[in-house]
Amino acid sequence: MNNLKLNFCELETLNHNKYIFDNNMGVVIPSSKEIEYIIKNFDKSETKILRDLKNNFGLSEDESKPLYDYINILVKQGMFISNNLPVILNKELSYEDILNTSASQLFLILTEACNLRCKYCVYSDHYPGLKGYSEEEMSIDTAIKAVDKYMEIHNQKLERGLYTSPKISFYGGEPFLKFDVIKAVINYCKQKNYNASFFATTNGTIFNNDIINFVIDNNVNIAFSLDGYKENHDRNRVSINNKPTFDIILNNIKKLQQRKQELNVNIPIIFNVTFDLNTDMEKVIQFFNENHDLLSPYSVMYNKVGNYGTNYYDGCDLHNNVLNTSLSNLHKKFFSEILKEDTSFITPAIKNFYKSLCFVSYNSKFINRNRKELCIPGSKMAVAPDGKIYMCEKVNQACSIGDLNNGISIDKVNEITAKYYKIINENCANCKISRLCDICYSHLIKDDDLCFSMEACNSSAQSIKNALSNYYSLLELNSKKMQKIFEV
């Protein structure tokens, strides 16, 4: 009798091949119903397991004993064992810990106002637990003060070995409603020789010639929120007056690209595609493929509207939807193409989509990200219009860690991280996929505090299992080509 209850995650590919993911070692092994039975019943005696394999699966001892020995060896090597140890060791942080992190980025939340009313936006009424739109906006003085505070920290990081350049991102709301602040910040950084890289996420609807020329002249990296084909985009991304916006943004993108051609500038653009259960993903991919020459060079980021913390999907059939049908069709086409030698079908849109669908591929060795700090609050800074400092752009309405007058409060940082450690250790110690989980502070925010959400946990776990299944389904078809696709 082993007295061991083993912990593992069962997977099945689209070809109905079975695998097992071990959270302790971060490895995946081929499986079968017999192997799964041995692992699930490993707390029983060897004699009973071998007898059950004979009675339940018709295996002789010559067939069952090697299987049992195989699992026994893996267990002795540390696989599948739930040790109930803390996921993250609690550690009191110092300001020096913040300075020793490799992350460095400033997010300026220029305004909480927007000229659109996108139905899935976190500022919308579909997210009752979060703050809605407001008229709060950042002044030039506050923005400059934020830049100086950020550069003070960034320069201290450089002294400790950081080699990356400063990164300043303009965020909102719609950041280009405060174009005067954007111009002032960039011109100020030039005067101070800060050598910063600039980024902006925008709906693109108010891009005029002045904005276009300025972002090109100053190498601003632009991420447009564009949800693929017209019908899909216009379902959600509407103006305050509920008017469609697709034609407006596409026309502005054409102007931007034309001007870049005239100036022989080759700055890539990013498209943020948000999709939901009513999105036809085949048509989304088709849109980007058909407009490849217009949009190039570009990349596409895909984000699904989640089904927790929101009432967005109220009244929707979560199983019978356009998305599932289109994904099924897309997979069939992709799987048939991947067997061929030709790689021309791997466009940026399809490549980025499958990389997002199989996000575990970014971590090919399945390094345990959850047994170390995902990020230290203060390693990045998100500054709100009122000068309060938050951890990042994803957490810019809750759990402030300081303000521009007093800087980052290490006491507030430790208060937040202590709550984070406690939540993770109490809820994730025996998780089957914690090694692959990217849970962070933003997933735990509720009412200006951190708390565990079983709904969010279950959603994340299912996404990880789906990603593993998708990844190994594709590897079964053509491992060499898939490894090329998933090269980071």
On the CB side of 117, CA atoms within 13 Å amount to 8
CB atoms within 10 A of CB 17: 14
| Across 258-272, 342-356, 365-379, 437-451, least confident range | 365-379
State the angle between helix axes of 33-40 and 46-57 in degrees (0 to 180), rounded to the nearest 10.
150
Q: Which two tokens stand for residue 261?
A: 């051609």
- pLDDT 10s digits, 340-379: 767 777 788 988 888 888 777 665 455 554 444 457 889 9
Q: Which of 157-171, 223-237, 257-271, 464-478 has the lowest mean pLDDT?
A: 464-478
pLDDT for residue 354: 85
A 10 A CB-CB count for 426 gives: 11
Helix axes 281-290, 322-338, angle to 10 degrees: 60
Instruction: Compute the distance between CA of residue 439 and CA of residue 431 in angstroms, rounded to an integer.
Output: 12
pLDDT of residue 331: 83
How crowded is residue 41: how many other Cβ atoms within 10 Å of its Cβ?
16
Q: Give me the long-range contacts of 411-417 (CB less than 8 A, separation at least 24).
A: 412/377, 413/93, 413/98, 413/376, 413/377, 413/378, 414/92, 414/93, 416/377, 416/391, 416/441, 416/450, 417/93, 417/373, 417/376, 417/377
Q: In what order do the strands lie in the sheet with 197-202?
A: 298-304, 269-275, 221-225, 197-202, 167-171, 106-109, 381-383, 388-390, 402-403, 407-408
Find out whether the peptide bond into 297 is cis, omega within 30 degrees of 0: yes
| CA gap 169, 455 in Å, rounded | 31
- How far is residue 227's CA from residue 303's CA, in Å, rounded to a whole number? 10
Q: What's the pLDDT band for 9 if we cut at 50, 70, 90?
A: very high
Give the Cα separation of 186 and 150 in Å (integer): 14
pLDDT number for residue 370:
45
In angstroms, the CA 67 to CA 64 distance is 5
Question: In the numeric block, which tokens belong to residue 128?
Answer: 């009752």
* Residue tagged 């400059």 (tokens): 144
End-to-end CA, the chain: 46
pLDDT tens per residue, range 151-205: 999 999 999 999 999 999 999 889 999 999 999 999 999 999 999 999 999 999 9
Query: Is-contact 182 175, C-beta < 8 A?
Result: yes
Residues whose CB is less than 8 angstroms from the CB of residue 152 and which lie 6 or more positions away in sequence, other chains included: none
Residue 321: what pLDDT?
Answer: 84
Predicted confidence at residue 463, as pLDDT, reads: 87
Answer yes or no: is pLDDT of 32 > 70.
yes
Tens-place pLDDT, residues 315-324 = 777 666 899 8
Report the distance separating Cα 288 and Cα 296, nearest Å.
10
Q: How far apart are CA 101 and CA 339, in angstroms?
A: 43
d(CA 290, CA 107): 34
Q: Of 167-181, 379-393, 448-462, where does mean pLDDT reach its minimum?
A: 448-462
Q: Which of 275, 293, 290, 291 is nearest to 231 (CA)?
A: 275
Distance (Å, whole) CA 73 – CA 37: 16
Mean per-residue pLDDT of the chain: 88
